[in-house]
Amino acid sequence: MRTISFVLLILLLTCQVWPHHASAQVLHRRPVTKMVKHPETLPSESGDFHLGSEPIPDRWQIKPPPYSVNQPGHLYDPYNQNILKGDYPILGQNTFLILTGTSETVIEAKKLPIPSGASAAGAGRFNFFGNGNLLEVNQRFKPTFQLYHGNTAFKPRDWELRITPVFNLNALNSRQRGVVNVNVQNGTSRFQFDIALQEAFAEYHLVNVSPYYDFISIRGGIQPFTSDFRGFIFSDTNLGGRIFGNLSNNRYQWNLAAFDMLEKSTNSELNTFARRDQEVLIANLYAQDFFGLLGWTNQFSVHWNHDQGSTHYDINGVLTRPAPIGAAVPHRIDAVYLGWTSDGKIGRVNINHALYFALGEDNLNLIAQRRTKINGTMFALELSYDRDWYRLKSSFLYASGDSKPQNGTATGFDSILDLQKFAGSENSFFNHQAIRLLGVNLVQKNSLLPSLRSSKIEGQSNFVNPGLWLYSVGSDLELRPDLRAFVNVNYLRFDNTASLQLLLNQGNIRKDIGVDYSLGLQYRPWLNNNVIVNLSQAVFQPLGGFRDILTSNVLYSTTMNVVVTF
């Protein structure tokens, strides 16, 4: 009886309150009126439409309410409405222009093991290794003009044109002759100005393949391309064609790319217009949420490097193709890379890995002095864990070395044109510096692989090499919203030193390379990417193997990189 009385009371109160509440809602509603087409609200013959009584040329220029966050834009303001930043069209309703200006300044002081040669820079220097202190300055100005068409908030661009010329100033000051040029009479310093067309491509949207705007597009010209997550095999801007797209609501992405490689300028590392007689073909497929693991993306790839072989001297007069060792005869390389890489999360752990097999043939390896079959392997793994303001990292890399350099099978591993973002990256000494060794480089600039090739950008791949074992620990630290720190310690060891012993005609070279300590700082004063200041300090402590072939002196590099973008 009490339950029935309680329900009746609730119903009575509801009947009393509901009409008043409904009336209150009605009072706050805008009056509904019949839509009438007035002449002043119809589109004009010129294509303009009206918002009230004010004509608006297009939907992009509708003025927002006069709040403090809606500031009027200017041509020199990259944040608010700016026609140079693609905020509204430059032609018609769907053609946009984006103008980007970038200045990149790199100042680097370093100490490398540099042979004194026949003509030392100073009197009384008779040691094999001279003064290895170097100061290098590299300044790049990059204006990028990007014109595209399409309603890109909802679907891929219909077409795009992009052009990026680069103006480069580079200077080097050394304490030793024969460093800036093969001719010792050219002194110990150089200054060079270089201009290059670093990007020039057109992209066209071919077709949509699903209602979710999965698409197929094509791109041709001088264009950037990185073939995997960390740039282990190929990462460059070069002349080529690429067809690419996605599937299954963007769960899968794929690329088919072909490059007819251009020569590089030695000191600026920019493209020239000369062909290099090298072709590279790449096919890859990315699959998100692989094996049902949300957030873990896997990639499968095939690379083909067809290097036809030629004779080439770099801008400083040094023979780089073929490498100036052995008979120094031009030779052809055909190498195929089969790869599986991944990047993402499994639970709380970030995982990134790469596994590559290199197969093929070098018709005259200059260290082995014979035709060789290529059979190299590389494996890399990085595990990291995020906690609050820091990330703890542990990394491992294995690149196979050649234990029998004269047996006709080249089991060392080398890349095509890598730019490896791994184990400290450009903050690391061993990764960032090119270390010279008897006409070739023990390791190339921005590469971890001890490949014994003459140059990464102008030389040829070499698969008769000592290989590498790398163990790394480090941490990325978010010290403040505008300041990040990167700390890494790497232990490096050759896989096998037989190729070094053959090249140097020296026995009993030990495997330990050294310990690499690095600290990097990144400062963004405006909490955006318009101004980025990078500072790094790396110290390399040689161990047995490095001491056997080069020096026991502690080496270092100090780098400042300032990037300003409009």
Look at residue 5 in the predicted model and tell me its pLDDT.
46
The two three-digit tokens of residue 256, written as one number: 């088919």
Q: How confident is the model at residue 71 (pLDDT cuts 50, 70, 90)?
A: low
Average pLDDT over all residues of the chain: 87
Binned at pLDDT 50, 70 and 90, residue 312 comes out as very high
First to last CA, the chain: 78
Q: What is the pLDDT, as a whole number, of residue 11?
A: 41
Q: Identify the helix (H) or strand (E) that includes residue 2.
A: helix 2-28
Pairing relation of β-strands 159-174 and 133-149? antiparallel
Give yes or no for a contact between 107 and 557, defined as CB atoms under 8 angstroms apart.
no
Pairing type for strands 235-247 and 133-149 reads unpaired
Q: Angle at CA 62, nearest 5°, toward 61 and 63? A: 105
> Which whole number is the average pLDDT over 96-109?
96
Distances (CA, A) of 414 to 7, 418, 444, 461, 553: 82, 9, 11, 6, 28
Helices (H), ranges, 72-137: none
Q: 80-89, 333-342, 547-556: which range is least confident on average?
A: 80-89
pLDDT for the residue 52: 53
Q: Which of 376, 352, 348 is nearest to 362 (CA)?
A: 376
Specify the CATH number for 95-565; select among 3.10.530.10, 1.10.1660.10, 2.40.160.100, 3.40.930.10: 2.40.160.100
Evaluate if residue 10 carries a pLDDT over 70.
no
Instruction: State what percent of residues in the chain have pLDDT above 90.
Output: 72
**Spatial contact of 470 and 450, defined as CB atoms under 8 Å apart:** no
Residue that wins the pLDDT comparison between 182 and 509:
509
Residue 322 has what DSSP assignment? Answer: S
52 sits in the region (left: phi over 0; alpha: psi -120 to 50; else beta) called: left
How many residues in total does the chain contain?
566
Q: pTM here?
A: 0.85
CB atoms within 10 A of CB 477: 15
The set of residues, in sequence order, having a beta carbon less than 8 Å from that of 430 and lying 6+ positions away, is: 443, 448, 490, 492, 513, 514, 516, 540
Distance of CA 395 to the CA centre of its chain: 19
> What amino acid is encoded at 264 in this protein?
K
Given this model, what pLDDT does residue 234 score?
98
Q: Give every CB contact of residue 238 below 8 A, 6+ residues apart in sequence.
A: 222, 223, 225, 259, 261, 262, 271
| Residue 483, pLDDT score | 98
- When pLDDT is cut at 50, 70 and 90, the band that residue 343 belongs to is very high
Tell me: pLDDT of 45 over 90.
Answer: no
Please give the helix or strand (H or E) that residue 60 lies within, else none: none
Are 221 and 146 a contacting pair, CB within 8 Å?
A: no
Among 72-76, 379-383, 418-422, name the most confident range: 379-383
pLDDT tens digits, 366-390: 999 999 999 999 999 999 999 999 9
Instruction: Give residue 28's pLDDT.
Output: 35
401 pLDDT band, cuts 50/70/90, is: very high
Provide long-range contacts, Cβ within 8 A and 24+ apart, for 74-83: 78/530, 78/566
